[in-house]
Structure 1
């Protein structure tokens, strides 16, 4: 007996077109890769929404999804040094790698520095991040000291 009542081939043409349009909108409006549609995270999200809908009845997706601000907060709170360290360890273990023989290039974020202090892995500062920080700091200082430069920047933004 099949686990689910329907699959896409059993849907009428109107519903198939509706699903295709929604997937296309997800990809194009969100600047996602077409492969994002195969990603388990997206499919898990859709399946969770279907399961919730099946339990409580027809819902409006806008009323049940939390949105970018809340979800961003969830992601940021999980980006602590300890959590990053644990994630790195699980990735190493999944590839059967050991600590101590890999170097990482990261930004100077306090969470990344803390994560690599815990693991004692070699962490190399990213030159692109350093250059960006240096140039941004210099630009802002010139902007603050030179009113003509500041006005020029305002016209560009």
Structure 2
């Protein structure tokens, strides 16, 4: 399914989308808004690269960041929930990860956490380990995975 198909399905269902991005720096929002007519579906995007931005813009709990770190499913869930609360969207995807270079034993380069929040549904999160493929590749893979999550959400039917 193409980005245009995601937007068409969302439009047909009356779904508005918000993004909350860290390591991708807005790449998902760019992919969505590259398609003409996307303003009917894309409500807004948050680029929250720093922890402080996650706290201020998305209300991610400082306790969550301290306990689990920025790259965690817990943070990804709170980012997605915050994007819904601070927008008029009813579907939000979030991304937080380590694009590289670098990483640690416990959070290696290429680890990316995703959240998906939908009005009327429990927020879900997951982790993908893309490996140390380099910053550009990890960011592209993360963007594509977030688009797949949106695709799955709009393919299930009305939110």
TM-score (norm 1): 0.23
Question: Which protein is bigger by CA-based radius of gyration?
Answer: 1
Higher strand share: 2
Greater RCO, 1 or 2 (C-alpha within 8 Å, sep 6+) = 2
Higher helix share: 1
